[in-house]
Structure 1
């Protein structure tokens, strides 16, 4: 059984190089990334040879790899046939041989090899003497723990991940993980360059991590290297016992999944209720439908959260850095406004075939203006409080609330420009979308990645240019009394943004009037 499943896994890897061009590119990029991770991890661990906190840093790195093995399969659920027990439920296979085969197949590939090779850097940086032999055993047990943990969690969550709520969970996880990575990429290098973050800063960080499986592996290597062979063996035995317990739980979970009927595709209850704004005509009906999608569609919630995260990321260097640059908050407001409008700049592709039904009610420019303005009303109702609130919070964090007020006004004006460009892009750069295995978020269909990039950068450039008058007005009124400055600044920003959005609606309606058949064809090519 193990040999058969390993051969199937190898065949899958070979077929990835013979399939479509996107699959080939993805496979090559993934393999290169795995090689870079292996080389980088080995080099980092090898540099800990004379560092006092070497065991603490090793524990942290081992724990990061375990977290990666725990979270990444949630995003890639269904991408690898060995992850979903439903794909093998109909075959007459015994559970225990199947577990061995799945475990062996899971250890085949670029990423498991990268984990082993990268973590072997401890043989240079942490281990010496008898600890080198223990290091090889500890690395193997660490990688085995990661694989078994991932398989147990994914098998237990298979029914959830196959359902709508499971896919929603994968989408929501993108936001905190992406925010954490961006924070690490921006703050950690700056702190290390300025001397605020050194290897000694991690001393004592494993006061509780040492009792987790990754900590047991790291401290076993240190104990063996310092002559405490008994402690090292005890830690390795405890780690092996944890792996055995996880293995037993995995076997039971897999056995249950193989004989349990799948009910995740059952129909849901339908509530019969009128749309709250439908009585206000076409504009109200569009606004009501669009508003409902904003809080019911996980991708929409994730997009709004990403826009907020982008604003904080743009100001992270100022908030956590030694030098404060309050002007960065204005730049973050520009980014936030641009992203808020860009995410709805392809409603044709996002709606998919449903847009064809909507198009039957869009018989002229007046109806098209109602269609686009209804979406703008909902977007503005959500984005304006977010932009103002985040800008003021950033102003407080930087210590310059006046600059936060200016940034809030810039965000309001920039939102109008972003919505205007979003409506125009809805017509001139509409593209079909699709969901791909391994990524819970909708993606541009093959050949349309340039359209998505063009919308993001085009919106950002247009918003940056459009808000220049408001930035100048904010600087000119910086010395005016607050009671006078706030009404003038926000009144001008709101009027200016409303004017830009109004022009965008009218321009989009004129452009869409003769392109509805083409837009319907694009919508029909969307597949979720």
Structure 2
């Protein structure tokens, strides 16, 4: 059964490349980008193998291995998404032994660029410890345990996160947790930046990580190189126990999902009354689209969780900005970060409609109404976050001279982001989670396409905002005239770009409705 699941995953990947040229292009881009990183890491591991500093080898392996486990646990959730072909709910109707299915789904995660790259990195880390037969054996065992921790932690974290976000109360808890996380990131970054990254600090960090579940498997081979046999054996036992506990937790989550598949809405609390935003907004095509978009943002985890993160991310600059003298500029950047995330985040809005986009096509909705109506919820968010962060930065930093520049540039960036989104969302969509799916899922082979489209859109936003950003930089150097000039010029240029982009996007939307619907259907 495990071999059958692996063959199934390979067939799905191969068929995806045959069906979509974009997926094939994304695969090539992913190989070029990710392959360069993997090669660089392998060169570093080979360098560590042939130099005589055992302590440095242990430090790099421990810190790097801990980062690898943390990356597998967090990055698929917050950035790239979990492959939906591994979603346990898809196997709820199959008579497959639950433990066999748990093992097969874990091993299937290795089929793909991230899995292959991780295996190569682990082999490189094993090679770095092959100065003695015993160290090589310990490194091999630790690498296997560390790789297992990566795979299982990824499944456990994604399953737990999806369960938390299945209810509105869970999403509220996630929002508070996200706030606490970013409040903790600030002091950590300030501590790391204070005095720079030195070998002594890395060694100290490795010593701490070596006694945590993140570093047990990776520090054991370094302990052997240093002659600490007892510590190496203890850490291998702890790593094995961690992998076993994680697997049991993953198996329990899998059994729960298979026996009680989660609903598509995940909402409780009885029936809803009233028309909500549909009654509050004008009864026009633009008002209806705005109400529909706002309702999605309130009820759909695919929208409200990223919205929470967008609101909280700029707060990560608070502590570094308050860390010392001359850091007022970081506080002034907060509204720019918020503006960029809000505006840029709309560039794939049509992709989230899935096949329900046929309603726009069948109703013959006007392109301008569609382009502007979709911006309603993000526009409301921008009205709160951009002035709010500009005012917060001025209050906390004590430098009101930066306030006009921060506000004007933030407005320019968000308007330019809306302008780019108004055009790009009518040109090219990439795969996103379908309605009812986990907000952390992604399509096989779609990472490269997603990265390419997001990079192009981000570059376009920065290019349109360049005049405002230049004036903002001049204002930070103490030129008050630039701050007041960008307060006026930034919103004017941003509004002009948005008006032109809405017209262009509306024309593209009118001509490409059928093509957009075909793309959305093919992504399912």
Q: What is the SS of the residue equivalent to 1:71?
A: helix
| 1:55 paired residue number | 58
How many angstroms does 1:218 deviate by?
3.3
Write the mapping of 1:484-499 to structure 2, written as runs, cut at 5 A: 493=487, 497=491
2:35 aligned with 1:42, yes or no?
no
> Pick from 492, 495, 511: which aligns with 1:518?
511
Q: Distance in 2 between matches of 1:151 and 1:447?
A: 24
Q: Partner residue of 1:142?
A: 146
Which residue is 1:205 aligned to?
205
CA contact (8 A) 2:350 2:425 kept: no
2:358 alignment partner in structure 1: 353
Residues 517 and 157 of structure 1: is their aligned pair in 2 closer, same or farther, counting only changes over 3 Å? same
Q: Deviations over 1:117-154 (max 9, x none)?
A: 42344456556433233222222222233334445556
2:280 matched residue in structure 1 = 278
2:427 is the counterpart of 1:431 = yes
Q: Distance in 2 between matches of 1:395 and 1:514?
A: 41
Q: What does residue 132 of structure 1 align with? A: 136
Change (3 A) 1:417 1:18: closer
SS of 2:201's partner is helix
Contact persistence 2:342–2:414 (CA under 8 A):
yes
Task: Tell me the distance in 1 between the aligned counterparts of 2:497 and 2:98.
Answer: 64
Query: What's the offset of the Cα at 1:65?
Result: 1.3
Quote how far apart the aligned CAs of 1:243 are. Answer: 2.6
Per-residue CA deviations over 1:144-181 (Å, capped at 9, x if unaligned) read: 33334445556x55984996989989x999x99xx99x
3-state SS of the aligned residue for 2:261? coil
Query: For 1:217-366, what aligned pairs fall within 5 Å after superposition?
Result: 217-258=217-258, 260-265=259-264, 270-275=271-276, 278=280, 282=284, 290-298=293-301, 300-301=303-304, 337=339, 340-344=342-346, 352-356=357-361
Q: 1:298 to 1:264 in 2, by over 3 A?
A: closer
The answer to whether the Cα contact below 8 Å between 2:216 and 2:239 also exists between their aligned partners in 1 is yes
Q: Which has the higher contact order (CA 8 A, sep 6+)?
A: 2
Distance 2:415 2:196 in 1: 41
Answer yes or no: is 1:118 the counterpart of 2:121.
yes
Asked if the contact 1:42/1:119 (under 8 Å) is kept, the reply is no
CA displacement, residues 87-107 of structure 1 (integer Å, 9 cap, x when unaligned): 444444334454555555555
**C-alpha separation in 2, matches of 1:427 and 1:357:** 21
Secondary structure at 2:239's aligned position in 1? Answer: helix
Give the superposition deviation at 1:62.
Answer: 1.4
Measure, in 2, the Cα distance between the counterparts of 1:236 and 1:504: 58
Structure 1 contact 470–493 (Cα < 8 Å) conserved: no
> 2:335 touches 2:406 (CA, 8 Å); kept in 1?
yes
1:471 and 1:103 mapped to 2: Cα distance?
49
Question: Does residue 1:389 correspond to 2:388, yes or no?
Answer: yes
- Which residue does 2:69 correspond to in 1? 66
CA distance in 2, matches of 1:504, 1:266: 34
Which deviates more, 271-280 or 432-441?
432-441
Deviation per CA, 1:274-326, whole angstroms, max 9, x where unpaired?
4467376647666655544444455555666676688789x99x959999697
Aligned to 1:403: 402
- How far apart are 1:197 and its partner, in Å? 1.2
* Separation of aligned partners in 2, 1:215 and 1:452: 33
- Could you tell which deviates more after superposition, 427-436 or 492-501? 492-501
Rounded Cα–Cα distance in structure 1 between residues aligned with 2:113 and 2:505? 48
Q: Quick one: distance in 2 between partners of 1:91 and 1:41? A: 41
The change in CA–CA distance for 1:263 and 1:172 in structure 2 (over 3 A counts) is: same
CA contact (8 A) 2:165 2:171 kept: no
The whole-number CA distance in structure 2 between the counterparts of 1:18 and 1:503 is 38
In angstroms, what is the RMSD of aligned CA positions? Answer: 5.7
1:11 Cα deviation after fit: 4.7
Deviation at 1:76, TM superposition (A): 6.7
Secondary structure of 2:204 counterpart: coil
**Native 8 Å contact 1:433 1:442 kept in 2:** no
TM-score by structure 1 length? Answer: 0.67
Count of residues in Structure 1 that have an aligned counterpart in Structure 2: 495
Contact in 2 for aligned 1:120/1:139 (Cα 8 Å)? yes
Instruction: Specify every segment of 5 or more residues in structure 2 that has no aligned partner in the other structure, as ranges.
Output: none
Relative distance call for 1:348 and 1:125 in structure 2 (3 A) is closer
Q: Supply the distance in 2 between the matched residues of 1:84 and 1:296 (Cα, whole angstroms).
A: 22
1:478 maps to 480
Q: Are residues 47 and 309 of structure 1, via their aligned partners in 2, closer, same or farther at CA, if it must alter by over 3 Å?
A: farther
Structure 1 residues 455 and 298, CA gap change in structure 2 (3 angstroms): same
d(CA) in 1 for partners of 2:143, 2:304: 40
